[in-house]
Amino acid sequence: MVRRLHYQTEEPVTTDELELLKKVKESYNAMHRLSSRRIRLWKKSDILECLEPRDAVWGFTTVRDDGESVVRAIKEMSRAAPRLTWILYDEGSAGGGEAVIKNGEIVHQ
């Protein structure tokens, strides 16, 4: 089954944190060459000025499997920048599944 996983930070991301996140993203994307499965990170302010918090990052990717490799990558980004809280939303779950990840661990599901 093909579905989308969405992810975003609750807090604005600093420049230093963004560089750490980009390293994890690039490492993941090097192993997942298909463009539909790659992790993307955008700042909310790059899309619309009205989205809050302005410098939070968000993205989505398409998965055909259980999505575990994407979840591991988000957990790794969470460990790289432990101040940030990540919201992960799975479109394919019955009723939509949501998880909160902090410091590499799922803290709410």
In the chain, the amino acid numbered 11 is E
pLDDT category, 56, cuts 50, 70, 90? confident
Q: In this structure, what are the phi and psi dihedrals at residue 40, rounded to the nearest 5 degrees? A: -120, 145
Task: Tell me what pLDDT residue 75 has.
Answer: 95
Domain 3-108, what architecture?
A: 2-Layer Sandwich (3.30)
Burial level of 53, CB count in 10 A (0-12/13-18/19+)? Answer: middle
* pTM, two decimal places: 0.84
Tell me the average pLDDT across 13-17: 94
For the stretch 58-106, pLDDT in tens is 888 888 766 688 889 999 999 999 999 999 998 876 556 889 999 999 9
What's 14's DSSP letter? P
